Structure 1
Amino acid sequence: MPPVVRRLPAYEPPAGAVVIPRPRLRPHPRPVRVPVPDPPSPALDAVRLVGVVLEVLDGRRPGRLLREVATPGLATRLGLLVRSRTTRMLRPPRVCHPSQFAAEIAVTIRRDERVLAVAARAEHTDDRWHFTAFTVLE
């Protein structure tokens, strides 16, 4: 709540004037605005969702699974990146919910003796989470 600034009463009466004290009025309490909490976000299994994409990119799962976890344009783009290699997550993904139906995911992975970062965005539509962006930062 922002601070309230009020004008102070005069410290001294004007010279030669007779001052009749006024009774102090009690200020009316201001209503307090209580924010309504947002409903909880739908359940998101970020480990499974990221794991499916990484396994497809490594060639350990069929590419058709990308259509189930990503938007059509992203699934096509990721399908071009499939190569035989070994990738594993080093830690569980970090998930941030900028809104109720959107999640931003960051995870650190190890691929062929290199440590890389993955940044992804998922959105909840049709009772499922779908990736709308997925980037391996090399």
Structure 2
Amino acid sequence: MPPVVRRLPAYEPPVGGAVPLPRPRPRPARVPEPDPPSPALDPLRLVGAVLEVLDGRRPARLLRQVAVPGLAVRLGAMVRPRTTRMVRMPRVCHPSRFVAEISATVRREGRVLAVACRVEHRGGRWWFTSFAVLE
């Protein structure tokens, strides 16, 4: 029997009238909810109050209102009559919403010193958890 030639089915896409493939629908981007702002903090007033207690210009009982108990006792033992003045506005860094680290430069008896402290927001107010005058 002689060979039979048959026509093949079309395997090329049509020219000019290509049908676009359906695109996947983009998913909506998840936008995280922003953190609420940190509670109001007045670093100049807080650090200034502790420095006034350490200089003997304010009563030591004030420390119980701004510092955790262990720190208040330790700072109360450091009270001496002297004069300390703030040189620059304190700088504040917020590692988290309820924690702030404060640094300041002060002048005491002719020397310029650094103050470093950490405050935490508890029970509706800011409390010192660490306070150091770096001499």
Shorter-normalised TM-score: what interval?
0.7 to 0.9
Q: Report the residue type matching 1:60 in the other structure.
A: R
In structure 2, what is the Cα distance between the partners aligned to 1:60 and 1:28? 69
Give the paired residue count. 121
List structure 1 segments (4+ residues) > 4 angstroms apart after TM superposition.
18-25
- For structure 1, the 5+ residue unaligned runs are 1-17
What is the deviation of 1:23? Answer: 4.6
Within 1, Cα distance between the matches of 2:75 and 2:28? 53
State the alpha-carbon separation in 1 of the partners of residues 112 and 31 from structure 2. 45
User: What TM-score do you get using the length of structure 1 for normalisation?
Assistant: 0.79
2:100 matched to which residue of 1?
A: 103
State yes or no: 1:42 paired with 2:73: no
SS at match of 1:32: coil
* 3-state DSSP of counterpart to 1:78: helix
Aligned partner of 2:68 in structure 1 is 71
- Residue identity (%): 69
Matches within 5 A, 1:1-138: 23-138=20-135
Larger Rg: 2
Q: Which amino acid aligns with 1:99?
A: S
RMSD between aligned residues:
1.7
Give me the TM-score of the superposition, normalised by structure 2.
0.81
Q: CA deviation at 1:102?
A: 1.1
Structure 2: runs of 5 or more not aligned: 1-10
